[in-house]
Chains A and B, each alone.
Chain A
């Protein structure tokens, strides 16, 4: 991706989330509190640091954005009101927007299914991503 594109995406992430990553004092309380920590490749404090340093491409391709439970424990406990979960959510939104509204193909569904997934989720996914 071009640097100019990455800069644009970084600006989008910042404006969607309203987060100022420079407020972070690198205490690690967000990652210390995260219940989904072991599932994630990049952890809440790394999201903050990577957005600040412009390491955007890695974030766009990580599965971590779908592992965040949006429990907001990191937002609740951050001593400096950095709100890492809002950044994760913003990255997720940027990725989804890039994929467009038509990205769910019926033939790709079976491989994504697992035993625990409720039927309702598949139906909702079609409503949302196949218009």
Chain B
């Protein structure tokens, strides 16, 4: 027979304000098996824990029920306290009488009645609880970073510097991501490439970092400390070990009409290409959609000019399998598809560009060599209109756009306007804004400089319509809410601050990782305030814009924070498992395989096992076996099993039924 102690917490007035805690302690004290019952102002305080600890020793308690806040808050606190006092931590249960009771009930009699019911259920469960012991699993001391932008680069460098090997998987031929495409960075106006490329080179040279560029993650199995990941190494048609990156092939290739994605299609590249001069790894890649040799068999120029003999037209996609202890998602963002917002004439005029395209038009390595020229006729623009919040801050029921603020547009638009006015003082810049949002170090000062020092015209209002005119200009019609009038601006260029959205690969990746996402396809953090760089899925960490819109400093801060968390995991030799895992009763298992099918972790296998039959015979039956190191205790198998053979330790069917019975009694 269990000897159970009940401890009712007041939580100041959080609980005691609505629940008659003395009455709860009295009522639960009369339950079967309860030998001690008391209440206290703050059970989680040191003196509260001492009270529990002393009671366990003095009253020889075998089980404990704490009526307090959600187990998410203090289950760990109280279980550690119980363990120190000498009983198994899994012999302690929490009755949540705060979130599920005092905070939602208005009157004291109802709240007290419910608290007693919840307490009785917990007592009933502890009565049936058995001690559980956690097993241990080894940790693979290597990390995988998915995405090679500034987030992935920073995370990988930090982990590598701590001495652990890291792989970066990047879908493009080079790492660098969006930051490599940027011209300058706000608010300091230092050159993005100048601060990024040294980091890229470091990644390439660090012995602990392996860059798997032009590769995709296709499958992820396992669990924290022991992930098995399948990586598709897409065929480059160039031998990575031989290519020297001399670039001879990219100059001789006769296929010249391939839109250059690095410059967002503003100019062309060849079918064999190196995305940009500082690419890491600096290896050529053949684009199979345009290469004439691969499409029709006629050509082969690159193979002829290659001194290193690196070209291999017969290359195939290769799948490799690797083991990792931790995975960091750093899949980044993309601008929203602007063809959905055709009131701004993005698809009708070449001179209506996205902000990212504008970055390339300003950049010395861009399609215009750094001279700001109109894409349509190559003439310098004299009037530029910037439109903010294109696709951001739309209502949830809007047919297009996102509900969130993209966070970075106000600042990069101020940057664009400042740079334009600095390089071309006779070019007028107008910015249509709904609100100017500049929370950040030196951010508002920067925006004010755009207005006061550079004379950028900020107009409070939104553009309703952009109409291309016969003379090549653009009629920008919008409101000026402060002047209370509708304005028309004859512009040479229009720059749209396109909303940023999660990369398309993030959703399938989240499915593979069993990591949760919000409705905008941003990864959800384990706790929005206290665990911002971890996914709720153990062993999965978040870095950069895959978790939400952010600028470069925020991204780098989060990337390093994620790296610190990963290092904290990888330094451990063994991980303590969750002992609340599934267990199959072989006598009852009918071998139907349903549990194996629903298990998201691949923890269940079937074996043929001999059982003793009647009259000394042997019967061979197919039965389920759970690998406790892989099982995460989700309980899907227990509800699927038609014969009731599967049970979850710590949450057995019997225990849960006892809780229900106690409430219904």
Contact = CB atoms under 8 A, between A and B. Distances in A.
Contacts of B639: none
Nearest to B397: A81
Contacts of B484: 43
A30 B462 CA distance: 8
B477 A32 contact: yes
Interface string B22-62: 00000000000000000000000000000000000000000
A23 interface: yes
A81 B400 CA distance: 10
Interface string B440-478: 000000000000000000001111110000000000011
B343 interface: yes
Interface residues of A, number: 22
Contacts of A28: 434, 460-462, 478-481
Interface residues of B, number: 23
Nearest to B433: A27
Interface stretch (B210-218, B331-339, B388-396, B553-561): B388-396
Contact of B486 (A26, A31, A73, A80): A31
Nearest to B485: A37
A32 B486 contact: yes
B401 interface: yes
A29 B481 contact: no
A73 B463 CA distance: 13
Contact of B464 (A25, A31, A38): A31
Contact of A29 (B397, B463, B480): B463
B434 A80 contact: no
B431 to A, nearest CB: 14
Nearest to A32: B464
Contact of B343 (A23, A34, A77): A77
Contacts of A10: none
Given A45-B479, A79-B393, A33 B464 contact: yes
Contacts of A76: 343
Contacts of A81: 395, 397-398
Contacts of A32: 432, 461-465, 477-479, 486
A79 B389 contact: yes
Question: Which of B397, B401, B481 has the largest count of A CB atoms less than 10 A from its CB?
Answer: B481
Nearest to A31: B479
A73 B484 CA distance: 19
A73 B478 CA distance: 13
A73 B479 CA distance: 14
B462 A27 contact: yes
Contacts of A31: 461, 464, 479, 481, 486
Contacts of B480: 28
A65 to B, nearest CB: 18
B395 A80 contact: yes
Contacts of B432: 32
A37 B463 CA distance: 14
B394 A29 contact: no
A33 B465 contact: yes
A28 B387 CA distance: 13
Contact of A80 (B394, B461, B463, B481): B394
A29 B395 contact: no
Contacts of B462: 27-29, 32
B397 A77 contact: no
B464 A77 contact: yes
A37 B479 CA distance: 10
Contact of A79 (B394, B460, B465, B481): B394
A130 to B, nearest CB: 37
Nearest to B461: A28
A34 B434 CA distance: 17
B139 to A, nearest CB: 48
B398 A34 contact: no
Nearest to B343: A77
B393 A29 contact: no
Given A29-B463, A32-B478, A38 B395 contact: no
A34 B394 contact: no
A27 B477 contact: no
A94 to B, nearest CB: 25
Interface string A19-58: 0000101111111111001100001010000000000000
Nearest to A77: B343
Interface string B121-161: 00000000000000000000000000000000000000000
Interface in A58-84: 73, 76-81
B398 A29 contact: no
Given A33-B343, A77-B343, A77-B464, A45 B486 contact: no
Contacts of A43: 479, 484, 486
Contacts of B486: 31-32, 34, 37-38, 43
Question: Which of B394, B401, B464, B484 has the largest count of A CB atoms less than 10 A from its CB?
Answer: B464
A77 B340 CA distance: 11
B343 A45 contact: no
B48 to A, nearest CB: 46
Contacts of B393: 25, 27, 79-80
B314 to A, nearest CB: 51
Given A38-B486, A80-B398, A81-B395, A33 B461 contact: no
Nearest to B392: A79
Nearest to A37: B486
A79 B481 CA distance: 17
A105 B480 CA distance: 42
Contacts of A38: 486
Contact of A25 (B343, B434, B478): B434
A66 B479 CA distance: 21
A79 B393 CA distance: 7
Given A27-B434, A31-B464, A32-B479, 12 more contacts: A25-B393, A28-B461, A32-B462, A32-B464, A32-B478, A33-B465, A43-B484, A45-B479, A73-B464, A78-B398, A79-B389, A81-B397
10 contacts: A23-B395, A28-B481, A32-B477, A32-B479, A73-B465, A77-B464, A78-B398, A79-B395, A79-B398, A81-B398
Interface of B: 343, 389, 393-395, 397-398, 401, 432, 434, 460-465, 477-481, 484, 486
9 tightest Cβ-Cβ pairs between the two chains A and B: A33-B464, A32-B464, A28-B479, A29-B462, A32-B478, A28-B461, A32-B479, A80-B395, A37-B486
